């Protein structure tokens, strides 16, 4: 992976320009490369992997928040196995929720939940749940927001205790401004829902069947998916160019003809026959030359993202927790989730040491985003020490902060109409396909992102797949257990 400038000067004609070297762009490039289609991947960062990259520091390996691999799509699984081979390990999943200064098993176990919530709250939740169900027999309420949807499914008390705090921490807006569709898609399969229900209303066999207790993971971190894909793309004679930002997408009529690329050495143009874009949809629209119509640009500007910060701590202890994820629902603690990479794979930290990754869901430019790195580290270590009691300040060898813009597309009330306008505009270009997570403005996991890339490649090779159908199947979400 070079970013060398040798070839660019003569603006060679490539068949396909892929924007972004995350799982989506690289899956497209991998399929194209396997089929000898000339492809150049343009990545503005200095490593591959996008949001699912693994950052290496002093022998410690950090994902940007714990990423497990999960899919129901055989072709995606085959690709995953093909590129990772014996790097794949199986990880037992064990998670907890921290709420009201107590740890709840995740998924909740009846006794643990009852003891944790207290009998009074449990009775209130049950009564409220019953009342909602009875009310629903007579009149179906209008369901617009996430709050409506959850309260209607489980009662307002349960919503208040187990959904509101964490969801609002995650999204940064009130639950009554989050689209009910998101809840229907994600929470329907979210184990918290299944778990709470199972805890309060245990099924006959007492086991939450839809939860996945183990998951696949590359032993050197999730970024190995993209690193392996990129290596194979280059082995096939195609290029993955790092530190190359696509600044403009130049079109004539309904076809993209070239990309304008900014690199450390200046700006150059790359002629293309086909484009696969995994850059943020809103930025793609803004980069179109000639410019997109004003109403499309305005629609794109109204689509927002939630951003993410990870605070990565290197720790002088062999182990800190025995968990894969810990969800911090407590609103008085700013961080939202932590994971200990060693519990995913022992090779994520040097022998005898461990590490922790704390995730802060925030808005770029907001108070948390703008905090100094030193203050963020201080806040994190303080909470881990005094509130969560995982470590002492002196256990921390070193720490660093990563800021990740546009980690989550926001399904805010009313987002569908502007999104449709933007999608219709992009759809008008015969040789431009959008893939991935922020590339399509869809809450895609890695497997969905990879699938969109794979389908885009197949479309270029003459097949006819509708990429917008990826990640609409309900069955997938019913099997999901973690709100990535
Ligand atoms: C905290 C968190 C946890 C997650 N956990 C899981 C999980 O457990 N399991 C799971 O399956 N999924 C998980 N996901 C989702 C997963 O990260 C994404 O689905 C996946 O990374 C998206 O891949 P992508 O290729 O679409 O985008 P990205 O990974 O974002 O890659 C896009 C690339 O495009 C580049 N780019 C952007 N603009 C330009 C430009 N103008 N020019 C050139 N390059 C550009 C970026 O630098 C980036 O490298 C999680 C996401 C988050 C935020």
- A 10 A CB-CB count for 148 gives 17
Q: Which two tokens stand for residue 71?
A: 């899919």
Q: Are residues 246 and 385 in the same domain?
A: no
The pLDDT tens digits for 421-440 are 999 999 999 999 999 999 99
248 occurs within a structural domain = yes
Last residue of a domain, one of 358, 374, 409: 409
Kindly give the number of the ligand 1 atom that is closest to the alpha carbon of 452: 26
Q: Are residues 387 and 405 in the same domain?
A: yes
The pLDDT tens digits for 372-415 are 999 999 999 999 999 998 899 999 999 999 999 999 999 999 99
Q: Are residues 240 and 374 in the same domain?
A: no
User: Full-prediction pTM beyond 0.85?
Assistant: yes
The pLDDT tens digits for 330-374 are 889 999 999 999 999 999 999 999 999 999 999 999 999 999 999
Check the CA dihedral 66-67-68-71 and report its sign: positive
Minimum mean pLDDT among 116-120, 295-299, 311-315: which range?
A: 116-120
Q: What is the pLDDT of residue 2?
A: 46
100 occurs within a structural domain = no
Cβ(418) – ligand 1 distance below 6 Å: no
Q: Are residues 362 and 384 in the same domain?
A: yes
Structural domain boundaries, residue 157: 109-210
Q: Tell me which of 445, 453, 471 to substitute to probe ligand 1's pocket, judged by most ligand atoms within 8 Å of the beta carbon.
A: 445
Q: What share of the chain in percent tops pLDDT 70?
A: 87
The pLDDT tens digits for 100-149 are 888 887 766 656 666 677 788 878 887 888 888 888 888 888 888 888 88
Look over the chain and give the mean of its residue pLDDT values, rounded to a whole number. 88
Q: Are residues 227 and 279 in the same domain?
A: yes
Last residue of a domain, one of 175, 192, 210: 210
| Distance from residue 50's CA to the centre of ligand 1 (Å) | 5
2 occurs within a structural domain = no
Q: Are residues 126 and 196 in the same domain?
A: yes
Q: Are residues 350 and 363 in the same domain?
A: yes
For residue 388, give the CATH number of its domain: 3.90.660.20
67 occurs within a structural domain = no
Q: Are strands 14-19 and 266-277 parallel, antiparallel or unpaired?
A: parallel
Residue with the smallest CA separation from ligand 1 atom 49 is 50
Residue with tokens 């990565």: 312
Q: Are 56 and 463 in contact (CB under 8 A)?
A: no
Residues 6 or more apart from 170 whose CB is under 8 A from it?
306, 336, 361, 408, 483
Last residue of a domain, one of 376, 409, 442: 409
Residue 82, pLDDT above cutoff 50: yes
User: SS3 of 442, please?
Assistant: coil
Say how many domains are in the chain: 3
Q: Are residues 177 and 36 in the same domain?
A: no
The count of C-alpha atoms lying within 13 angstroms of the C-alpha of 161, restricted to the half-sphere facing its C-beta, is 24
Kindly give the number of the ligand 1 atom that is closest to the alpha carbon of 20: 34
Cβ(279) – ligand 1 distance below 6 Å: yes
| Distance from residue 439's CA to the centre of ligand 1 (Å) | 9
Q: Are residues 225 and 266 in the same domain?
A: yes
Residue with the smallest CA separation from ligand 1 atom 6 is 67
Cβ(27) – ligand 1 distance below 6 Å: no
Residue 290, pLDDT above cutoff 60: yes
User: SS3 of 95, please?
Assistant: strand
């Amino acid at each position: 992976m070079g970013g060398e400038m040798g070839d660019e000067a003569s603006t060679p004609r490539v068949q396909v320009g892929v924007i972004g070297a995350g799982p989506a762009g690289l899956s497209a490039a991998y399929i194209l490369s396997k089929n000898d289609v000339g492809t150049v991947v343009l990545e503005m960062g200095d490593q591959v992997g996008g949001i699912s990259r693994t950052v290496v520091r002093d022998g410690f390996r950090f994902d940007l928040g714990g990423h497990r691999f999960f899919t129901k799509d055989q072709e995606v699984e085959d690709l995953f196995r093909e590129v990772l081979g014996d790097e794949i390990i199986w990880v037992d999943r064990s998670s907890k929720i921290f709420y009201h200064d107590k740890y709840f098993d995740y998924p909740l176990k009846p006794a643990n939940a009852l003891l944790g919530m207290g009998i009074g709250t449990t009775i209130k939740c049950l009564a409220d749940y019953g009342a909602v169900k009875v009310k629903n027999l007579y009149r179906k309420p209008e369901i617009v927001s996430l709050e409506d949807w959850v309260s209607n499914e489980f009662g307002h008390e349960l919503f208040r205790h187990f959904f509101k705090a964490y969801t609002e921490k995650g999204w940064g807006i009130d639950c009554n401004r989050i689209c009910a569709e998101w809840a229907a898609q994600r929470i329907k399969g979210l184990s918290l829902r299944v778990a709470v229900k199972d805890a309060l209303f245990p099924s006959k066999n007492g086991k939450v069947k839809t939860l996945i207790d183990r998951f696949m993971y590359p032993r050197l971190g999730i970024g190995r998916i993209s690193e392996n894909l990129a290596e194979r793309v280059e082995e096939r004679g195609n290029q993955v160019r790092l530190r190359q930002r696509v600044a403009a997408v130049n079109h004539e009529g309904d076809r993209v003809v070239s990309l304008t690329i900014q690199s450390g050495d200046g700006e150059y143009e790359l002629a293309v026959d086909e484009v696969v874009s995994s850059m943020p949809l809103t930025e793609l629209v803004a980069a179109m030359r000639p410019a997109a119509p004003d109403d499309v640009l305005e629609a794109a500007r109204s689509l927002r993202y939630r951003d993410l910060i990870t605070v990565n701590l290197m720790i002088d202890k062999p182990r800190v927790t025995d968990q894969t994820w810990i969800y911090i629902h407590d609103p008085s603690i700013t961080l939202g989730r932590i994971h200990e990479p060693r519990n995913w794979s022992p090779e994520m930290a040097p022998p005898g040491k461990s590490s922790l990754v704390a995730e802060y869901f925030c808005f770029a430019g907001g108070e948390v985003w703008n905090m100094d790195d030193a203050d963020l580290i201080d806040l994190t270590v303080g909470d881990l020490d005094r509130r969560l009691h995982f470590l002492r300040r002196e256990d921390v060898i070193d720490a660093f902060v990563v800021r990740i813009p546009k980690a989550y597309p926001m399904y805010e009330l009313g987002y569908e109409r502007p999104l449709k306008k933007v999608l219709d505009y992009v759809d008008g270009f015969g040789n431009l396909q959008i893939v991935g997570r922020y590339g399509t403005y869809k809450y895609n996991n890695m497997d969905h992102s990879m699938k969109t890339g794979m389908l885009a490649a197949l479309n270029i090779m003459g097949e006819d797949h509708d990429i917008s159908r990826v990640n609409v199947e309900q069955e997938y979400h019913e099997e999901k257990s973690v709100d990535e």
